[in-house]
Every structure is written in structure tokens, then in C-alpha cells.
Structure 1
Amino acid sequence: MMTVSCDKIFGEDLTDLIFDYGVIEVPDKALFIGNSLLLGNGTFGMNATDSLHDYHALIQARFLAANPAYTDVKLSGIAFEGCENHDQQLNWLENTLRPQLSADLDLVVIQIGDNVNTSKRRSAFEQGAKELIATIREASPNAHVVWLYGWYVSSNVTKSIKNACKQYTVNLIAINDIHETENESSIATVVTRTAPTSQALKYTRYTVLPDGRLQIDFAVEGKIYTAAVRATSYDDNPGAKTLTWQGYETITTDWHVASHPGNSGFAQIARHFFEMVNITWE
């Protein structure tokens, strides 16, 4: 198993959490439980440029190449991150998670914790992280369980996840060392959605390019950005200098969205996954 320098992970030694399970086979069936990095763009991770470039798609593609029978399901865990007490957690575990678990699951990837960002959430999560893994172990006893954390890191959440992973012998794969500027998305990134949508954007100017795309100049915090999108239709409100278009492409204009992984960040997350999980490809 290839390991990552521990002094780069959460700023402390995690040697006791890098468990060697031996070699596992390429899975037949997997479950991914995640937050915006898994489903923030609707059906794929925020802010990959399309559905083929988030960490899930990259992992899935490699598994499919080795095992064409491979299947997986993506489940949003944002509601679990938002739980503030034990009753809320039990409701999610029993009514949302448990229906997705089965004895034939080979792999469960947990990628939550980033949004456990209030005192009540953090307090509940200390025990909730353990109960999450315990529920998986009970309903899917043959599954290899991996926890990916965290693009946005909290020391309290880190401790809760570490303790849960240590108690239940779960691989913890830290990804905070990847969160560097070059691995983030950016303002003006164009995202191709999997379903038609619309976007309204206040512009400084726009033009229709020879290939039919709309090239739009817009300001964010006083800085001008330019992006070009393909649209099936559009409407201009010149008085408000607002352009509204319909199609599959949208433009990133929000700094929080832009702080999510870009394609390079998602590629690094997938690379970390395969470095830390010892899989046989034969």
C-alpha cells in the first residue's frame, strides 16, 4: 500500500489510522455517501466542469475499466451533516441510509464532515460518525469502508472522524493537503450540467460569437471576468444590463462555489483514494 506523508494530513501523525487490509478485489457494487463534492452540481460534484471530471466519475471509470459489471449509487449525506441531535441522526440513518445498504455491497465511500460547521452539529457528530459506520457494518458486513475528509477542515470534526475510523477499523483518507489554490475551481468557470437549466447574470457587456456562444463580461467584487457559454435561447434586459439564458452551461460567479475543487482537485482526490486503498486489478 502506498501511503502519504502523515505530517501533511491534518497537521499531525495519522499513522495509527492507515490500516492495511491486505489486497481487496475491484468491487462489483459500491455506495458513495457525500456532500457538495459528490452532488453539488445537481448530479455531480461542485465545481467540476462536467459529470466526467469529479472524483466519483474518475473512480467509477477506473473500476468499470477493470470490471464492466461494476455499479454504484450516490447518496447525499448533507442532511446527516446538518443533524443537531441524536433523534435526527437516527431518522436519517434508518430512513435514508439503510434502504441503500445491502449484504452484497463491496465498497462504501463516506465523504462527509465539511458541513458540520456549528457547535450543535459538531456535538451531535461526535457520536453520529460512529453510528454511521456501525449502521454500515451491520447492514453491509462485507463492504470495505473508506472515509474521505476533508476539503474544508474543522479540528473538532477531524477528531470525531478519526475516533470513529479507529474504533471500526476504517481507512481515513485525508484530502485537506490537496486544498490549494491550483486545485480549486475559479470564478468564470463554465460548468456543463446534465439537465437543461437557466442562469441570469448582470453583465458589463456581451457579444454573440461566430460559433453562436454568448461571450459575457461581468464583474465580481470590482474585477471583470469573461466567460463564453452555449445557449439554446437567451433574453437581454438592457435597462438592468442582465442577460438570462437557457441551456446546459452555467458560469461560476460565487466565491464559495469557486473554492470547491476544480478538475485538477478532483483528480487529486481520486489519486489519493487509489494510493491509500490497496486494490488488485487482476
Structure 2
Amino acid sequence: MSARAGFLAFAIAPVHVHDGRPKEPMALSPQDEQMLDRALALAALGSLVDPNPRVGCVLVRDEVVVGEGFHAGAGTAHAEAAALAQSGESARGATAFITLEPCTHVGRTPPCAQALIDAGVERVVFVAADPSERAGGGAALLREAGIAVEKASPRFEQSSRALNEAWFFAAEHGRPHVTWKYATTLDGRIAAADGSSRWITGDASRADVHALRARSGAVVVGTGTALTDDPALTVRGSAYTGHDPLRVVVGHRDLPADSRLLEPEGEI
């Protein structure tokens, strides 16, 4: 992950801890930028987290990293929980650098905002706000608990959104993010008229397709494609990480019993 020059701190009104003493948010520093870069790099390690976003977290106390983590997949520990488990009691008084606003909802895992409060974290710097109605509001909950909360500059948010493009789109628009994949020749053809051509793309393009499948929750084709090309629609090659997308066939014609789409790997 490349280093980024510059960091814009947003002004935040003082918050108050429960004992009545005001706690001013601390100014962001070059080390803060480094820790945010590290958190983004950790988030990128979570390749198969659908339907959740990819998130990374770094805990720093007295300028020393005491814990870090990332979300590895649905049902597993969230990034904050993984970092807190690694840090133990060292999280008390620490600063948490997180690529997404800590969640507040109770699902398959407990809410991360409350976990940070319970651990005694004193400051939270997060990259992107959580736009979902179910999980958003973590920053407000942290401030109510007396924790100094700051949001990173837009350039860091762009990196977080790039890691979770489909998730942000679905959360903000209420519908799935759809990628239209097609391949044509320069004259607009997709195959030879006699059906003799198998591919019109090269090795690099096919590798990109498998990488795209690996990042997708589902792949959709029509019965025409299913019957003509007999595709497997699975992830193959170096892009395969143990996950195949749901395979969806739209149409009224039946598939033959020997269709590759009916083979056991993956779902259809």
C-alpha cells in the first residue's frame, strides 16, 4: 500500500467523559497516516467477506502497535474484535485506527463500537462512515461514551471505498452492485457464426474474469449462453481461494444432465 502525503483533520466539538471532564480530540499526526495505511492494508487481506465489508483495525498505545486485525469472512470476528483480542489489557488507553466506522448492531458477532468502549480505548480514528441503517451510528455511540472520535481525510476514504465498492453501493442504493462482463471483436462479434470459436479473449482477459468472479457473490447468464458455451462459471487458476460465486441461469429452457453447471462444485 503506497504512502499518502497529507491528512485533513475535521474539527470536532469537545466531548465529555462520564466523570464530567472534557476530552478534546487529539491532532492527527504522520504516525496516524501510517497507521491508517496499515489498517487499509490489513483490510485488503479479507478477500471473501461477502456480504460484509472488508475492514482493518490497528490499536496503538504510547506509539507502539499493541494489536491489529482484519475481518476474514462472514461469521468470523470483526477487525476491531480481532485487534482487541490480540492486544488484551494493552487496549486500555489506546487509539484505534479503523477503515470503517465501528458497527452498532448485534448480528452473528457483537457490536464493535461497544467492544471498543468496554476495552477502554480512548481515541478512535476511522476512515469511512457506515452508510447502513442497521450498523451505522458507531461514532455517535463512541462520543457518548467519552471517546475522542475523528474521521480521516477523503483520500483515505477513497481507498476504503475502493476496497468495498460493491458493499458501499448496495448499502447506499438498496440494490446489488452489478458488473456487466462481455467480450467482443473489433467488429462487434462475440463468436464465429459456425460456433467453432471457443474464446475471443486472451489469457490476461480470462485471468481478469476469474479474479472478478472471486470477488462476486453471484454470476448470472441466460440459458442461451448456458446451452451454447456450457460454462462452469467457477473460479479457476491463481484467483481461486476456495470460494465460488452462486451460479444463476435465467431462462425457460432446461439444462442437459451433463451440463457443467450441474457439477457439484459451487451452488446453482
Q: Tell me the TM-score range normalised by the shorter chain.
A: 0.3 to 0.5
Higher relative contact order (CA 8 A, sep 6+): 1
Task: Look at both structures and tell me which one has the larger radius of gyration over its CA atoms.
Answer: 2
